[in-house]
Amino acid sequence: MYRSKIRAASKSAILEAARFLAEGKLVGVPTETVYGLAADATNPIAVGNIFAAKGRPANNPLIVHVDSAESALRWVCLGPSKEMAEKWRLACEFWPGPLTVVVPRAPGVIDQVTAGSPTVAVRVPSHPVMRSLLQNCDFPIAAPSANRSNYVSPTNANHVQEGLGDKVAMILDGGECQCGLESTIIRLAADGVELLRPGSISLEQLESKFGSVSVVKGVSKSKALDTSDRAPMPAPGMLAKHYSPSTPLRTAGNWDPAQIPPSRVARLTFFPLPDSQSKCFRWYRSLSQTGDLDEVAQNLFTALRQADLTECEWIVIDQCDRSGVGRAIMDRIDRAASDPAS
């Protein structure tokens, strides 16, 4: 067990974090998406400690973070297909950034990272602290969200301290996450591109790059794949119940004030309510002052955590169109909700 401490992300702290990772320890790290629970992706024991610390199902693969598209090539096997090579080239144009790419794995990738799958998920993050950490490591970094499995993902260092403070050697403080949602995940094949998990890089952006992109069943309306067996999941973040506060959550469209009075509700909106309405709720917060969905995405997980700390019996949250980043917002809300929106 480690006594956790949050450290400002100075050069010396980043070097210390790299040393901890090289020793097989876990470190809380900032990325542009959410904070990650980092380990040396080539160390089976360290990677196993990620699963143990999170209580993560063994069939739920991890994302391998590297510092460049060139570095990523060491861990993937694209084969001789020109079509596959071209799709990889196009995907790399989103890097560094919040896109994870699932492709066939190279022989050197350990089973613990892929959950035994023949594919590997790789990403080049853009957060300057994470990039500096990667550049000071001689190995890629496996880093799922730094929270207990199925709970709300962390978007600042304090969230990591609260949830996994006794599991890590250090938490690098890189400030609030810019995106606030986990990365978009796509799977590349010679004959097409599939969206496995929506994120800040939208379906529309992907289609502008690749042309047609298939949305895997279970993503568009978040009816996630049944993983009751132990077969490897196609990608992280596809559990039917995920990103969930302890307090039951309903979408506004499925909330009946006659059954659940506002006095029992923590209310989250995407645009400010008039005072005459907001004061009816036991607790209230607007995730944006202007209805900006990028701002909503950035604030979503922090707001869910705050609402979970109130003494309210229910959380009720707005809905939005499933386009642009709205697709990712509703994916997370659906997985967190007691009653996924239709």
Query: 237 — alpha (psi -120 to 50), left (phi > 0) or beta?
Result: left
Instruction: Judge whether residue 340 has pLDDT over 90.
Output: no
**Would you state the pLDDT for residue 339?**
60
Which segments of the chain belong to CATH 3.40.50.11030? 249-336
* pLDDT tens-place string over residues 5-19: 899 999 999 999 999
Axis-axis angle for helices 293-308, 326-336 (nearest 10): 20
Which segments of the chain belong to CATH 3.90.870.10? 6-215
Q: Residue 149 and residue 132: Cα distance in Å, rounded?
A: 27
Instruction: Judge whether residue 241 has pLDDT over 90.
Output: no
* pLDDT tens-place string over residues 91-115: 999 999 999 999 999 999 999 999 9
CB atoms closer than 10 angstroms to residue 4: 19
Which helix (H) or strand (E) segment is 193 a member of?
strand 192-197
CATH of 249-336, one of 3.30.2130.10, 3.40.50.1820, 3.40.50.720, 3.40.50.11030: 3.40.50.11030
Stated pTM of the model: 0.94
DSSP 145: B
Instruction: Determine the average pLDDT of the residues in 280-303.
Output: 98
CATH number of 6-215: 3.90.870.10
Report residue 169 as tokens. 């050697």
Separation in Å, CA 130 to CA 77, 99, 161: 25, 15, 18
Instruction: Determine the average pLDDT of the residues in 161-185.
Output: 97
